[in-house]
Structure 1
Amino acid sequence: MKERKRCLARAVACVALACGFSGVMAQTNAAPIAQTVAEWNRLPFVFDDANAAQRYDSEQLYKKVLLQGVKLDSQGNIYVTTARWGGTDVPATLSKLVRKDGNWVLQPYPSAAMNKVGDPHALQSVLGFEIDRNDVMWILDQGHIAGAPSTQGAEKLVLWDIKHNREIQRHDFTDAETDKKCSFLNDVAVDNDSGFAYITDSGILCDPLHGGLIVYDQKHNTARRILDQTVFTNDEAGFTFRIDNQQVLPKTPMRTGADGIALSGDKRTLYWTNLSGHALYSIDTALLRDFHSTPTTLQTAIKRVATLPSNTDGMTANRHGQIYMTALEHNGLMRFDEKTGRISTVISDPDMVWPDTLAWGPDGDLYFVTGHLNLWVANEMDFDHPSVPNFRIWKIKADGPSYTAK
Structure 2
Amino acid sequence: MKNPWIQRIAAIAFGTLTCAALATPPKLDVVAEWTRLSYDLSDPAAEKAYEDQQVWKKVLMQGAKVDSKGNIYVSTARWGGKEIPATLSKLVKKGKEWKLQPFPNKALNDVANPKGLKAVLGFEIDRNDVMWILDQGHVAGAPSGPGDEKLVGWDLKTGKEVARYEFNDADTDKKCSFLNDVAIDNDAGVVYISDSGIFCNPLKGGILVYDIKTNKAKRVLSAPEWVNNENFSFKIHGRDVLKPKDGKPNGMQTGADGIALSGDKKTLYWTNLTGNRLLSLPTALIRDFSKNEDEVKKAVKVEATLPSNTDGMTADRAGNLYMTALGLNGVMKRDAKTGVVSTLVTSDDISWPDTLAWGPRGDLYLVSNHLHLWVDGDMDFDKPKVPNFRIYRMKLGATPYHAK
Q: Same fold (TM over 0.5)?
A: yes
Q: Is residue 367–residue 393 contact of structure 1 (8 Å, CA) maintained in 2? A: yes
- 1:180 maps to 2:174: yes
- The amino acid across from 2:359 in the alignment is G
d(CA) in 1 for partners of 2:170 and 2:138? Answer: 17
Superposed displacement of residue 218, structure 1:
0.5
SS in 2 for 1:283: strand
- The amino acid across from 2:39 in the alignment is F
Which residue is equivalent to 2:60? 66
Number of residues of Structure 1 aligned to a counterpart in Structure 2:
385
1:77-132: per-residue Cα shift (whole Å, max 9, x none)? 11000000000111100000111123211100000001001223011100000000
d(CA) in 2 for partners of 1:231 and 1:96? Answer: 38
Which residue is equivalent to 1:96? 90
- The amino acid across from 1:246 in the alignment is R
Greater Cα offset, 21-30 or 140-149: 21-30
RMSD: 1.4
More helix by percentage:
1
1:129-158: per-residue Cα shift (whole Å, max 9, x none)? 000010000000001000001110110000
SS in 2 for 1:79: strand
Q: Is residue 361–residue 403 contact of structure 1 (8 Å, CA) maintained in 2? A: no
d(CA) in 2 for partners of 1:306 and 1:153? Answer: 37
Residue of 268, 276, 279 corresponding to 1:278 = 276
d(CA) in 1 for partners of 2:30 and 2:159? Answer: 29
- The amino acid across from 1:282 in the alignment is S
Which residue is equivalent to 2:301? 303
SS in 2 for 1:363: helix
Superposed displacement of residue 52, structure 1:
1.6
Instruction: Give ranges in structure 2 of 5+ residues lacking alignment.
Output: 1-14, 245-249
Closer, same or farther: CA 350–132 of 1 in aligned 2, 3 Å: same
Residue of 396, 399, 402 corresponding to 1:398 = 396
- 1:37 maps to 2:35: no
Q: Is residue 209–residue 229 contact of structure 1 (8 Å, CA) maintained in 2? A: no
Residue of 301, 305, 314 corresponding to 1:316 = 314
Residue of 227, 236, 248 corresponding to 2:241 = 248
d(CA) in 2 for partners of 1:360 and 1:236? Answer: 29
Superposed displacement of residue 219, structure 1:
0.6
- 1:349 maps to 2:347: yes
Q: Is residue 315–residue 401 contact of structure 2 (8 Å, CA) maintained in 1? A: no
- 1:230 maps to 2:228: no
- The amino acid across from 1:321 in the alignment is G
Q: Is residue 356–residue 369 contact of structure 1 (8 Å, CA) maintained in 2? A: yes
d(CA) in 2 for partners of 1:149 and 1:402? Answer: 35
d(CA) in 2 for partners of 1:366 and 1:402? Answer: 9
Q: Is residue 363–residue 403 contact of structure 1 (8 Å, CA) maintained in 2? A: no
Closer, same or farther: CA 196–402 of 1 in aligned 2, 3 Å: closer
Superposed counterparts of 1:125-164, under 5 Å: 125-164=119-158
Closer, same or farther: CA 305–403 of 1 in aligned 2, 3 Å: closer
Superposed displacement of residue 399, structure 1:
4.3
Which residue is equivalent to 1:388? 386
Superposed displacement of residue 363, structure 1:
1.2
- 1:106 maps to 2:100: yes
Q: Is residue 315–residue 400 contact of structure 2 (8 Å, CA) maintained in 1? A: no
SS in 2 for 1:368: strand
Structure 1 segments, 4+ long, off by >4 Å, are: none
Q: Is residue 67–residue 80 contact of structure 1 (8 Å, CA) maintained in 2? A: yes
Closer, same or farther: CA 25–74 of 1 in aligned 2, 3 Å: same
Which residue is equivalent to 1:46? 40
Closer, same or farther: CA 111–22 of 1 in aligned 2, 3 Å: same
- 1:117 maps to 2:115: no
- The amino acid across from 1:63 in the alignment is K
- The amino acid across from 2:192 in the alignment is Y
Superposed displacement of residue 337, structure 1:
1.7
d(CA) in 2 for partners of 1:279 and 1:404? Answer: 24
SS in 1 for 2:361: coil
Superposed displacement of residue 229, structure 1:
4.6
Q: Is residue 61–residue 369 contact of structure 2 (8 Å, CA) maintained in 1? A: yes
d(CA) in 1 for partners of 2:124 and 2:276? Answer: 24
d(CA) in 1 for partners of 2:228 and 2:274? Answer: 8
Instruction: Give ranges in structure 1 of 5+ residues lacking alignment.
Output: 1-20
- The amino acid across from 1:155 in the alignment is E
| More relative contact order, 1 or 2 (CA 8 Å, 6+ apart) | 2
- The amino acid across from 1:34 in the alignment is L
What percentage of aligned pairs have identical amino acids?
A: 58
Which residue is equivalent to 1:379? 377
